[in-house]
C-alpha cells in the first residue's frame, strides 16, 4: 500500500486499463484527481461521509478550474500544430509537465486534508468513487469498477 497519495496515483495510473478508464471518466466531467484520492481513501479504509466529500471538492474544484484546466486546454489546443512545429512541440511538453505538476500539487492538498481522517473504519468505504464522480461518470460503471479493482484490488 502506498503511504502517500501521489505515489498511489502514479502506481494506480500505470496499471493496465486505468489510464483509459480515467480518460473516459474525465471526458464525462469527472475530476480524475478526486477519483484517485477516493480510491486511495477506499484502500486505506476511510469511511466516506458527505462532509468529507464536500471538503475534498472545495479544495479540488477551484484548483481544477483555475490551474489545471487552463493548462490542459492549451496543451490540447496545441496538439495538432505541435506535430508540425518542433519549437511548439517543445513548449507543449513544458505545458504538459506544468499540468502534471499542478495535479501533483492538488493531490498533495487533498492528502493534507484527508490525512487526519481515521483509517481502517468499517463499512461503506467502496462508496468514495461514486460519491466523488460526476453524475455522467457514475453511469460508466465499467470505468469506475476498473479504477476500483486496479487501485484497491476489490
Question: For position 103, what pLDDT does the model report?
Answer: 97
Interacting residues of 114 by C-beta distance below 8 A, sequence separation 6+: 5, 37, 40, 41, 46, 52, 56
Average pLDDT over residues 115-127: 80
Q: What cell was used for 55? A: 471538503
Which of 103, 134, 122 has its CA nearest to residue 37?
103
How confident is the model over 106-131, as a mean pLDDT?
Answer: 88
- Residue 137's pLDDT band (cuts 50, 70, 90): confident
CA 127 to each of CA 43, 45, 145: distance values in angstroms, whole numbers, following the listed order: 12, 11, 11
Extract the C-alpha cell encoding 120. 481502517
Residue 3 has pLDDT above 90, yes or no: no
> How far is it, in rounded angstroms, from Cα 15 to Cα 120?
24
Helices 86-114 and 69-82 cross at an angle (nearest 10°) of 160
In the chain, the percentage of residues whose pLDDT exceeds 70 is 96
What's residue 154's pLDDT?
67
Q: What is the pTM of this model?
A: 0.91
The pLDDT, as a whole number, for residue 49 is 93
pLDDT confidence band for 123 (50 / 70 / 90): low
Find how far residue 115's CA is from the centre of its chain. 17
Write down the pLDDT at residue 139. 79
- pLDDT over threshold 70, residue 124: no
Please state, in angstroms and rounded to a whole number, the distance separating the CA atoms of residues 98 and 71: 7
Residue 39 makes CB contacts below 8 A (sequence gap 6+) with 8, 12, 128, 129, 147, 148, 151, 152
Instruction: Identify which of 11, 21, 40 has the alpha carbon closest to the alpha carbon of residue 146.
Output: 21
Number of domains in the chain: 1
Q: What is the pLDDT of residue 58?
A: 97
Using a 10 angstrom Cβ sphere, with 0-12 exposed, 13-18 middle and 19 or more buried, the burial of residue 135 is exposed
Amino acid at each position: 500500500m502506498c503511504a502517500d497519495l501521489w505515489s498511489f496515483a502514479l502506481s494506480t495510473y500505470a496499471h493496465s486499463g486505468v489510464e483509459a478508464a480515467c480518460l473516459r471518466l474525465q471526458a464525462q466531467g469527472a475530476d480524475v484527481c478526486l477519483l484517485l484520492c477516493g480510491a486511495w481513501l477506499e484502500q486505506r479504509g476511510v469511511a466516506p461521509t458527505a462532509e468529507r466529500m464536500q471538503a475534498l471538492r472545495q479544495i479540488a474544484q477551484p484548483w481544477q478550474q483555475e490551474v489545471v484546466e487552463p493548462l490542459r486546454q492549451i496543451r490540447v489546443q496545441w496538439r495538432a500544430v505541435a506535430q508540425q512545429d518542433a519549437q511548439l512541440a517543445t513548449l507543449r511538453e513544458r505545458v504538459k509537465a506544468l499540468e502534471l505538476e499542478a495535479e501533483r500539487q492538488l493531490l498533495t492538498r487533498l492528502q493534507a486534508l484527508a490525512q487526519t481522517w481515521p483509517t481502517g473504519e468499517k463499512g461503506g468505504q467502496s462508496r468514495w468513487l461514486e460519491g466523488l464522480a460526476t453524475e455522467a461518470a457514475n453511469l460508466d460503471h465499467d470505468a469506475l469498477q476498473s479504477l476500483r479493482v486496479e487501485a484497491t484490488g476489490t
